[in-house]
Amino acid sequence: MDSSPVVALDLGTIFSGYAFWTNKEPHQTMTGDWSKPTQTPKKEDIKIPKTRTALLLNFNDELDAFGRDAVEKFLENLSDECDSKFRYFDHFRMQLYEKEV
């Protein structure tokens, strides 16, 4: 039996996520977990299935970070030289609607 996964990507204006399914476990759909580990895990800690739709590229236009990691890294590195180190994109999905196809 073929075990190719089915993958779903949700690229949203503010938040993005993913999920996948395989026929090896047909009654289970796995989703992304974007939560960060805490120092003291608690029973009530919740899984975060989506992250910010934010993208951070380095000076070579290569992916440096995505999601909350991109936001945090960009904010940590804000300075006069930041523009030359990174290119930060947030809420970029809406710009796709402004283009005629």
pTM value is 0.66
Residue 1 belongs to some domain of the structure? no
Residue 56 belongs to some domain of the structure? yes
- What pLDDT does residue 99 have? 60
Going along 13-68, which residue ranges are E strands?
A: 15-21, 30-31, 50-52, 54-58, 63-66
Residue 9 belongs to some domain of the structure? no
Total number of domains constituting the chain: 1
Contact between residue 20 and residue 5 where contact means Cβ atoms under 8 Å apart: yes
Structural domain containing residue 85: 51-96
Mean pLDDT, to the nearest integer, of 74-80? 79
Give residue 75's pLDDT band: very low, low, confident or very high (50, 70, 90). confident
Whether pLDDT at 69 is above 70: yes
Residue 30 belongs to some domain of the structure? no
Residue 26 belongs to some domain of the structure? no
Mean pLDDT, to the nearest integer, of 70-84? 76
- For 12-62, the pLDDT digits (tens) are 888 888 888 888 887 888 888 877 766 556 656 667 788 888 989 988 889
For 7, the enclosing helix (H) or strand (E) is strand 6-11
Residue 39 belongs to some domain of the structure? no
